[in-house]
Amino acid sequence: MLTAATVAILVIVFYYPVGTVLIEAIVVDGRLTLAVFTNLLRDPFYVGEFARLFTGEGPVAVARAFAAPDRRLGIVGFTAYQAVLSTIVSVALGLPAAYILARFEFPGRQTLRSVTILPFVLPSIMVAVGFVATFGRNGTLNAVLSAVGMPRVELMFTLEAILIAHAFYNAPLVARVTTAAWESVDASAVETARSLGAGPLRAFVDVVAPQLYPAVLTSAALTFVFTFGTFPIVLALGGFELATVEVFVYRLARDLQYAEAAALAIVELTIALGVLFAYLRYEAATAVAARRVRPLPRKSLWPDAWTPRALFERAGIVTYAGIAAVVFLAPIVSMLLASVTTADGSLTLDHYRFLLTRQQTGAAFQVRPWPAVRNSVLFAGASALVALPMGVVVAVITTRASRGRSLVGAVAMAPFAVSGILVGLGLLRGLVFGVEVAGWRIAVAGSAAIVAAHAVAGYPFVVRTVAPGLASLDASLVESARALGASRARALFDIELPLVWPGVVAGAAFAVAISMGEFTATVVLATGADAYTMPVAIERFIGRRLGPATAMGVVLLVVTGFSFLVIERLGGEVHDY
Amino acid sequence: MTTDAELDRPGPNAPTAVEFDGVTKRYGETAAVDTIDLAIREGEFFTVVGPSGCGKTTTLRLVAGFEAPTEGSVRFGGSDVSGVPPEARDVGVVFQNYALFPHLTVGENVGYGLRFSAPPGGVSREERIETLLELVDLPEMSDRDPESLSGGQRQRVAIARALAPGPDVLLLDEPMSALDARLRERLRLQVRSIQRSLGITTVYVTHDQEEALSVSDRVAVMRDGSVVQVAPPRTVYRRPASRFVAEFVGDNNVFEGVVAAEGVTSAAEDEGDEIRVVSVDVHDTTLQVALEEGSAERAFDDRAATGIDTHGAGFSTAPRPGDRVVFCVRPQHLRVGRAQNSVRAAVEGAEFLGETTRVHLTWNGQPLVLSADEPLAGSVTVGFDPRDAHVVEHAASDGADTS
């Protein structure tokens, strides 16, 4: 029953709207055609030298064209290119963190480990503002550089800025997944290898590393998928010069070229789903049952003896900590700073005053701060109420049901890979503009569509926080409850949910945070409707000066952080899951 | 307290509580349970035993309703329960890993099933919980956390919890496997006496053949998804239905040979009674094996209960010269210095087991094992009474299996 409801919601708010958009790409003026596609695939502007493949040239010619110095990547090619680079940078930045978190003991380690989830749920538009405040012409980086007498650098609208911002998001993900894998390496396995004659390095290569590859690959695949579909970061840091597919889909949709937008979105979706599917196949093949292990002992950060090796290792850690501080703290600190300073560096509260004035005197067509805050909080609460049961049901199915679990898993996780623009467009054209069902015209309000889009974006996180707990519960607990007379649903409420409660609370917190930070689908749906949220407000403010945007960013940060706290208080302590 | 299960077991005329009718359970291509027929009687302590992967746990899960049969039907008291979910079956289940709800106290665990049905006998919920905890010898433990209990105590709470709603059938899935040997022996006596005092139909799954023999009214031996024998413990031990059962249940010496002569009358060595024997050539030595009379009582017993012939006793058709037979002799029936059926074997080693010494021998490359009071060395002559040899396989010379 719950399963049916979940599937119905998914179909209504995700598959149907997305489907209507996709159909526009192949049905033009009521006729089925692939013309939009073939035009797109033959256009070097989109697919670069691959266009040669679709205009009849052989693979050799394509390879030769790519080898040439004036090769064209096209929008799709550039998107993949930056996604690959982002993945490499994220893995490079994430692995040392995993090493430190998994192998060293120091005060605050647990906290740091928990905090690695934070970047992932920080509103992307806010992070983008933070990076503009860091790397912009008048940003903190240039302020620091000129203070020490070095020349200014121009990082805005460069690939480097985008890569660093992507690493900000995804390196913690790499660190998190890899740390978990590292902690589940059984010390006895390493000790066995050592006793059989392997040195420490050899034991690492032979025993530990093979257990880490799947985790690294997992996080790399996810990073690729996320950065391939990136939108707000590139919109704010790259502009249209460094546009990715998602940005172009947005632009095409804004120009009402829906068929082209849909076709491009399909190309994007195919690539993202391809990677995700390959990864899921790999995960299924390498999945091992969770088992209790004796983890490797942690080293103290302050060594007993300063051997050269220990010294070298610590020097590396200190260097890394410096880099990490710049990447992860600079954007937030810069944003806070920029919100209270003028362009010439003196302290001011003008930006906040601007928000107040706008609230009091803003015209009807202008974005005002209070409705944005109110809308964000309302949408977050409503979408969490939808996302929680959906996520719990999907988690139960994917961890418990024997039949169709992989299918349900794939169907339910697809929203992870589908562009927010696509979801937003689909909801807008499918539900907000209305559909005819059996002679009735059904249309939902823009705000309801936003809640639906946020729930779709948020429930995979609920699945991710609840499923591991459920999977670690012995199936015989539920079976015992059922043999004692409890129905399946009753066993879920009596036994499973109380035991995975911390995960449920964490899931609620994520659903709220995701909703508050969601920009991509919201910006599509909020157009026209009076339903703009804080991230949309930030984007509108960037247009003029950075100051008000950073002030609005701080408001968003405070409201999001406060919501997190409230959920934690209401639901009990959020453990590290 | 009697520990010998067979003395007062429910007779063949007791009504059937749980019945398997041609039940097959397939996972993909493999059949975990392959066309089995069983009839478990009311009030019976019925044990399913077999090596790991034989389908015994699947059999139990089919009774509980955690699995549905692919083919055939499972019946409770004559009615098909194939579509009935576990919560509507009135079964109590105890798992190997206890599966106590960690967020509930001991008392809440025991009382959980009473949320869905009134306590039997019109008592209050609290009284029922108290009674059950006393039954498993854990009074005053109601407010404790399951985490604070020892393994044996947790298992007893799990049993109390399963019994609290007064189920029709109690199902135990390797309930002792996680406990140490001494505790296991004590707990199984306790389980047996609780079962006896409540008279509850019980299905017990174990891989431990000693456990199966010690507590059960009847034992079903499974192998590769099939039931190969259903009989009381003594019958399974003394008259195994196949070579597999002979070797799985207890130690055994298995001989393969060819019938040399039939229907010889021989005087039993000690008593002087005349018995009918066949001569079997094994490794160029002629050994004599008694022709067993099929027991009418036993045949009725097992056949009526299961629909299959499971005692496999002796020859079902008269042996003829040239027929291939397999028979077995228990280690304690192989005696040093016995002249009848004697062979000369080399001592390979001995294990001191406390009560007895298990001596390993080889005879023409075939391993033999016997129980002795003291270790032996060199080479020894061992023999056995023809009546202690039990035929487990008999194939006519034309190739037809007639056993």
pLDDT in tens, A163-175: 888 898 889 889 8
Question: Which candidate in B26, B116, B172 is best for mutational testing of the A interface (most A CBs within 10 A)?
Answer: B116
A387 CB-near residues (< 8 Å, 6+ apart): A454, A455, A458, A459, A461, A462, A507, A511
Q: Which residues of B touch A488 (CB under 8 A)?
A: 85
CA-nearest residue to A474 within chain B is B99
Whether B86 has a pLDDT exceeding 70, the answer reads yes
DSSP code for A242: T
Percent of chain B whose pLDDT exceeds 90: 54
Nearest to A476 among B89, B99, B102 (CB): B99
Q: Could you tell me if A473 lies within 8 Å of chain B, comparing CB atoms? A: no
- Closest residue of chain A to B173, computed from CA coordinates: A476
- Smallest CA–CA distance, residue A481 to chain B, in Å, is 7
Contacts of A292 (CB under 8 A, 6+ apart): none
- For residue A498, list chain B residues with Cβ-Cβ distance below 8 A: 103
Whole-model pTM over 0.80:
no
Confidence of residue B338 (pLDDT cuts 50, 70, 90): confident
Question: How many beta-carbon pairs under 8 angstroms link A with B?
Answer: 69
The C-alpha atoms of residue A516 and residue A506 are separated, in whole angstroms, by: 15
Instruction: List the single best residue of B87, B114, B128 to mutate versus A (max A Cβ within 10 A).
Output: B87
Of B390, B338, B330, nearest to B356 by C-alpha is B330
Sign of the Cα torsion A532, A535, A540, A541 reads positive
Mutation target for A interface from B57, B101, B205: give the one with most A CBs within 10 A: B101
> Are B87 and A474 an interchain contact pair (Cβ–Cβ within 8 Å)?
no
**Residues making up chain A, counted from first to last:** 577
Which CATH class for the B5-238 domain?
A: alpha beta
B93 touches A at CB < 8 Å:
yes
Taking all residues of chain B, what is their mean pLDDT, rounded to a whole number? Answer: 85
Interacting residues of B286 by C-beta distance below 8 A, sequence separation 6+: B260, B279, B280
Q: Residue A344: CB partners within 8 Å, gap ≥ 6?
A: none
pLDDT of residue B301 exceeding 70, the answer is: no
In this complex, is the C-beta atom of B116 within 8 Å of any C-beta atom belonging to chain A?
A: yes
Question: Given an 8 Å threshold on Cβ–Cβ distance, is A479 in contact with B86?
Answer: yes
B115 inside 8 A of chain A by CB: yes
Neighbours of B90 (CB within 10 A): 17
Residue with more model confidence, B273 or B402? B273
Distance between CA A20 and CA A30 in Å, rounded? 13
Considering only the beta carbons, identify the residue of A477, A490, A498 that sits closest to B99.
A477
Q: CB of B65 within 8 A of CB of B85? A: yes
Q: Sign of the CA dihedral B75, B78, B84, B90?
A: negative
Contact B114, B164 (CB under 8 A): yes
Query: Does A400 touch chain B if contact means CB atoms closer than 8 Å?
Result: no
- Measure Cα distances from B182 to A385, B149, B187 in Å: 53, 18, 9
DSSP notation for A519-571 = -HHHHHHHTTSS---HHHHHHHHHTT-HHHHHHHHHHHHHHHHHHHHHHHHHH
Q: How confident is the model at residue A88 (pLDDT cuts 50, 70, 90)?
A: very high
From A462's Cα to the closest Cα of chain B, the distance in A is 22
The residue of B90, B93, B129, B173 whose CB has the most chain A CBs within 10 angstroms, and thus the best one to mutate to test that interface, is B93
CB A91 within 8 A of CB A176: no
Of all residues in chain A, the percent with pLDDT exceeding 70 is 85
Region B381-395 average pLDDT? 88
Which residues on A lie below 8 Å from B93 (Cβ)? 479-480, 483
Band the pLDDT of B142: cuts 50, 70, 90.
very high
> Searching chain B, which residue's CA lies closest to the CA of residue A497?
B103
Q: For domain B244-395, is the CATH number 3.40.630.30?
A: no
Tens-place pLDDT, residues A10-61: 787 788 888 877 777 777 766 777 777 777 777 777 766 676 666 667 777 7
Considering only the beta carbons, identify the residue of A476, A484, A488 that sits closest to B165: A484
- The answer to whether B99 contacts A499, with C-beta atoms less than 8 Å apart, is no
**In this predicted structure, what is the pLDDT of residue A359?**
77
CA distance B216 to chain A (A): 23
Q: Where are the domains of chain B?
A: 5-238, 244-395
Query: Is residue B338 helix, strand or coil?
Result: coil
Indicate yes or no: CB of B87 within 8 angstroms of CB of A499: no
The domains located in chain A, with CATH, are 34-68 (no CATH), 73-291+303-317 (1.10.3720.10)
Q: How far apart are CA B116 and CA A385, in angstroms?
A: 29
Q: Which of A486, A495, A498 sits opposite B87 (nearest CB)?
A: A486
Nearest CA in chain B to A479: B66
- Whether B157 has its CB under 8 Å from any CB of chain A: the answer is no
Is B68 at the interface with chain A, CB within 8 A?
Answer: no
Instruction: Look at B112 and A499 and tell me if their CB atoms are within 8 Å.
Output: no
Contacts with A487 from chain B: Cβ below 8 Å:
85, 87
Question: Is B165 at the interface with chain A, CB within 8 A?
Answer: yes
CA of A487: which chain B residue's CA is closest? B87
Residue type, A398: T
Whether A1 has its CB under 8 Å from any CB of chain B: the answer is no
Taking the Cβ of residue A406 and every Cβ of chain B, the question of whether any pair is shorter than 8 Å is answered with: no
**CA–CA dist B139, B131 (Å, integer):** 8
Cross-chain Cβ contact B117/A476 below 8 Å = no
Residue A230, pLDDT > 90, answer no
Residue in A1, A473, A480, A497 to test binding to B, most B beta-carbons within 10 Å: A480
Q: Does A481 touch chain B (CB under 8 A)?
A: yes
B91 touches chain A (CB under 8 A): yes
Predicted local distance difference test score (pLDDT) of residue B107? 94
Q: What is the ipTM of this complex?
A: 0.78
Q: Report yes or no: A255 at the B interface, CB cutoff 8 Å.
A: no
With contacts defined as CB-CB under 8 Å, which chain A residues touch B171?
A: 483
Q: Which of the listed ranges A37-51, B293-307, B359-373 does the model predict with the highest average pLDDT?
A: B359-373
Using CA atoms of A242, A244, A245, A248 in order, give the dihedral in degrees to the nearest 10. -50
Angle among Cα B220, B223, B228 to the nearest 5 degrees reads: 50
Question: Taking CB atoms and an 8 Å limit, are B86 and A499 in contact across chains?
Answer: no
* CB atoms near residue A258 (< 10 Å): 16
Q: With bands split at pLDDT 50, 70 and 90, how would you rate the model's confidence at B172?
A: very high
Q: Is B99 on the interface with A (CB under 8 A)?
A: yes
Of the residues A472, A477, A484, the best mutation for testing chain B's interface (the one with the most B CB atoms within 10 Å of its CB) is A484
Residue B307 has pLDDT above 50, yes or no: no
Is there a contact between A268 and A229 (Cβ–Cβ < 8 Å)?
Answer: yes
Band of residue A84 on the pLDDT scale cut at 50, 70, 90 = very high
- Lowest mean pLDDT across A302-311, B85-94, B131-140: A302-311
CB contact under 8 A, B101 and A481: yes
Nearest chain B Cα distance for residue A397, angstroms: 16
**For the segment B35-63, what is each residue's pLDDT rounded down to a tens digit?**
999 999 999 999 999 999 899 999 999 99
Give me the amino acid identity at A157.
F
User: pLDDT by residue (tens digit) across A437-454?
Assistant: 666 666 667 788 888 888
The verdict on a CB contact (< 8 Å) between A476 and B116 is: no
Q: How many CB atoms lie within 10 A of CB B148?
A: 11
The least confident of A47-61, A82-96, A343-357, A490-504 is A47-61
User: Exposed e or buried b for every residue in B175-198, given b needs 16+ CB within 10 A?
Assistant: bbebbeeeebeebbebbbebbbee
Per-residue pLDDT tens digits for A231-259? 888 877 776 677 788 888 888 877 877 77
* Side chain identity at residue B354, one-letter code: G
Interface contact B86-A483, CB threshold 8 A: yes
Alpha carbons B89 and B67: distance in angstroms, whole number:
13
Residue to mutate among B60, B76, B95, B203, with most A CBs inside 10 A, is B95
Q: Which residue of A has its CA nearest to B100?
A: A477
Q: By CA distance, what is B162's nearest residue in A?
A: A484
> At residue B28, does pLDDT exceed 60?
yes
Residues near A48 by Cβ (< 8 Å), separated by ≥ 6? A71, A72, A73, A74, A76, A77, A78
Same fold flag, B5-238 and B244-395: no
